[in-house]
Structure 1
């Protein structure tokens, strides 16, 4: 018996030690597994996040591309079918006057759209290409842009109204300009192009600014399904190497919509992120070094391993302490058992008391049940607002499971409050409408309340009380929702109502009904934008502001997304004009990218803040235009005076001849000259000639007739009359008096 007891004691000691070793080994193994799994998950989540962001960028690029396509198609077709331009395209014989009128129409279209580089019109009957003033119109063989000639003569269906990246030589310069070319032409009954067409060349900088907003560390590309490059953030079609092209080709062959590919065969691992655009079956690619995309992941890995190791050491230490605390009493207990044959009832009572203590502690954890159930309820309601609604039977079961008191047979009213005091809002509702059924959640910074059994009068009073008592910025309410499946649609509409608050900052309560009269068409006020830009180019800030107010008044009749797109595009157009005048250095007060512009729109509480930015740019542009115009006018007047002084002997010298030589109207030149010199051009010419006549009469022996001919007077009698009018003496008397004075 004694031997058995010794064996039992030894085996118990060994068992305790083995238990500790197994426990430590389990913790170590679990630590290693967790660290590996965490790192892989971190890597996968990071890549999925980057892919998701790229997909969002592709959606934005897709939307912007569609709008650009529509704008260019509409404005291009208007020019294409313009009677003057149609005559350039189709006429077999065309008068010089019609050519000038047609080219002026092309120049007007290009100048009113700052993103247009140049416009070409091809007439196959004459084999001639007419172009805007920056390019020289000529026969197709001699036309400088031979790539455009090839596009006209080898039209392909896939090229029609599709951006084609090209490089064009700058006029009078050795430099080149990158552009995107859109070609338009008519088709005959056989589906073949007719021998005429129109090309619009768009600045690639403008397209890249609008379409491809990317970080400096990555190269963003748009590739079509055949592997041809449509756009490149590096503004060149030669900035990717053969390895990139090979990887892109393999990705296109896989025909996956979104994803990423890691190339480990290079000295520097590269990451290819891609998303498919809906327009034209294009793909958006972002190529960047893998290390840059995973920046911080290695540091996160080290920190995670350090934390896990610390937890492991703490767990090992705590387990050792617990083992010692358990092993020593347990060993004593075994020794006691070894000494006595029967167990004491007192020892059994002590063990039972310890068990009761453990059970009581376990029951205390049930206090979290209520908060956990509330959390599940909130998450389920959020899912109803974000995802498609399940079947009615499932909804009833879920409502019962999560203790949601809404009745599916009664209408629901949606209340959205810009504030986070959800419990206070629910108390206000219950105090006012005691019979009301209320469920509330907090989502994306707003408190959302779902109400039943509340009449319309009480609803208005509730909204007013919530605003006044809780001092929130805005309360919005919906029309009754009669089907639970419309809850998601209503939530999206209410988010739009909240967004409209920037246009109605003085209205603390808004109704969903404000959307009922809003038009859903995706339009853009091209004519008003053109008038606004023309006013700015003319230095007329007040006129530009009036056009802006007209655009705002017009767009307030449309849905929020259409309004935002309109003013974002208008901003980029005005910003382009601003940068052309002041250079590419960014004004810190002006957003310079799509992301910065989005942030600005999301931050404002009153659209007047956006209007203030526009008006600031209008004033700056107008002042600079006026300054530039004044400087040009001063130079023009000085050149004109110099031209008169050098050409006074020409009998044909006149205001009209000078105006024709400069290329502006005679009346405008006359008014401009008079505003600077105080006399007309004709009077100035006469003054110069009379002064020269005085000089020749004093210091030469030419006859008066010869002098008249030399200074540009073909009629000597007219010279006599004019000279006497200016000097009160005849030329002969003037010569006699002046020479006498010289001798004296």
Structure 2
């Protein structure tokens, strides 16, 4: 009962439980129905294919039987004894006896023949052999005559025609097969032989096929052209009239809709649902039907459906249990939340919401808390506004006005004790601002304000606020425990704040602490002082806590710029590539800068950057190859670096690159000169006036210098190299008979023939004429 009361009292739990339960019931039911529907469709399709195969085989068997009868009819029709019986007007008695005997022999030789009749047109006479035909007083003869000569219907030839020969109740006992001298329908003006085929021979074949293939699950019918249905159970003659009409209507509708010669249709026949498969036999004009009881056909499906429903029922029971368990698991967090809410809810409120569900109760509590939070948030916004106003524009308020505002908004600032202002700034703020998204910045600022206020408020009355995104400002009031040393515990508390923020958010904070003030209007001045002190982390390093006493030397110093001698020596050392001297001058410069006021520090470092940049420009103007130094970065160092030490290391690194880049300058220049000399010789070898002196004049160097430089580098003189180039070109031109030797000399820059011949023979071992002759012979 307790469990029932528990579930009855939890309206939301009931909703969840019933929703899951109904969903499972719907899914399981739909799955079961779908499976049985798919199974039924599959059985129908398989049965249709099977039935069509059976009907195709039956059609083949009927065609085969028809072929047998056709062969027999051709044989009979060509028999001489029977021909005379068909066409002679007056047949002798002995010929008549022979003809009858021949008919008897044919009947005895074929087991499927019931009887045989010959129709003689000229005599309008029928001749038959059976005892019934001969001894019944002409009844059988008259019946066949009336059927054969009835002009109300046409009788096809060479086809099986169902008929009642010996019975009067309409039962089909034979199939007539009319043979004439043409394939046109029988006319009374033709003589013919009529073979009567035993109905057993046709229907027994169909019945055996039905038994073998379908396990006697259905009944096979033949629908003749007149619309009558003939059953394979020939004792039933034909289907009852009502059933025949129903089958005919089903067939006609389906064949009109599908316009196909085969298919299946399902409908009511004789008060029971049946499946009719049909196949049109266009040769004989029949339609072969296979009628099956739908209930018997779907016995396995029905059994499977029952089993499926039983299994689905079992799973439904399991799903109900699972729904209850799952609903409680999903409800458990809500129950825990409700228990917490009930601890803070009055009895009156509980009874008020007892008739409503749990979500309404939590919604009401949420609205109450939201209203409360909005009130608190609004008050906090106003309080933070006045705190920021005190920090930036406190001189606009009188002491009494500020005291009144502190009391009105219940700010945690002492009204009678001394105050000081602490500024916590984020180190490397540019990188922090670049790599941190807006939402994360808000989270970090909120966290830092709360951490700072919580830690500091443990000892001193304190208000904390975030300013400009990169700093947290604390207004700290004197504690009653500070009797001798005022604010002696502020620095350790600030160190705790720094370590906590570093541990949780990996942010480094530098702090500036103002002087103690006693009047509220001085808060803005104290804030500016603390903000300026925090900037001196450029000297003290990241994460430092700075008071006015720590930078007294910087504030009292009179020197605010570097001596000209340091800047001059630095520039000269750079130009000479003397890295040791450069390092000494930079070290002197930064030791002096460390004692400057903050703004003068940045100005002095920027000036050093300009000196290095200008010296680098002069060096590159006097070099052939450039020095790989980013000139723009030199001016960005004061903004990119946080401390003087980082600025010193950056400038020292750039100076090292500049000095290192000057070492190979002479070597590069000599290589450029040598390459220029060789290029000039290659281009102007045909110039008679080309010489070492002309080349020296072109490259703006002395002849002796380039001669020594070339000789030391390539181990040959410029003149020897020039002759070597000219003789190689002369060798090529001599291979062409288009030029005379004098023309070759002129094109290669030689004016003296004997001098040219001597040089050519010395290099190639033959005179120019001999060389040309050898080349022409070869």
Q: TM-score, normalised by structure 2?
A: 0.37
State the TM-score, normalized to the length of structure 1: 0.38
